[in-house]
Amino acid sequence: MKKIFFLCLSFIFIFCGCSNPLFAKADPSVDMTPRLITSSNYKSAVEVVDSVKSAVVGISAAVNGGYSVGSGVAIADGGYILTNHHVVEGSSNLTVYFADKTNASAKFIWSDSSLDMAIIKSSKNMPYLECGSSKDLQVGEDVLAIGTPLTLQFKHTVTKGIVSALNRTLEIESMGGASYLQNLIQHDASINPGNSGGPLISLDGRVVGINTLKASESEGIGFAIPIEVGCAISERIVKNNDFEPAYIGVFGFDADIANYYGETTSEKGVYVVSVDPKAVASLAGVEEGDLIVKIGDKQIETLLDLKMQMFSYDIGDEIVVEIIRNGEKQTISMVAQERPNLVS
């Protein structure tokens, strides 16, 4: 696969002199009453922004003597905020900045580098947004991005664009080697360093994605993680105060892009590119080249389907996987295990 290089949207400011609104006076025009902000038939993007902005935060994370500036969005009662892993990674101190110009401390709850997702919890409760569905998006549809590009002076910056493409797969170069982000939403709403973790919002006021990166050598090519991933995880965390994903040890691509590996298939599913030899899938008989088409009672057409179904399992649960191998269907059972070296 041809490698594409992208710029992560976290940015380190070493005592850069940007204004610090730690003691700013609250703006009474912004309603910060904790509540669910539901979708609505808004007449304009202005109405959408006015309604949802109280659920969006700027984030400063103390890292290595400096600060990583990012964004986040509340998606559950209690101050639970979804952002990117790379915004809060390694942070010793988190501060969130609200639309009414006040701020509060926040604590780290959970993160996963492979998903580039993290959840933090504000010490102050706040409004939160309704999760939408990335599967309802259409290419050409208007979307809004709200975040904190570059510095804390630019909190709650709003940009507008369209959905440019769906189900994008990107190969990302990092110190640990290549990794992949799949099922991404490509859009052209302007995003810059600091927008990471901020919401991509549809014009009915729902969160449909979490902005994560942009093309480093072009304009108008940004990407967001489908919101279903973050919402599924946040539901588990709010309910159980923790989340430890079930692991079976397969890595794959949507069948539609399996041709990157010289493989083609007429079936929808997840094409298995590699299998952890020590994990339960390998021990149960799953092999490279298999096509996963069903897990439990859920038909699997994309990697997003697979992730969402796996989030419903706990470690120790039996998982029944249906695969296609050499044109024939097989059913394989395994017991979900803890994922090794889980980033927490």
Question: Hey, which residues are catalytic here?
Answer: 86, 116, 196
Find the angle CA(125)-CA(121)-CA(101) to the nearest 5 degrees: 55
Residues 108, 94: Cα–Cα separation, whole Å: 8
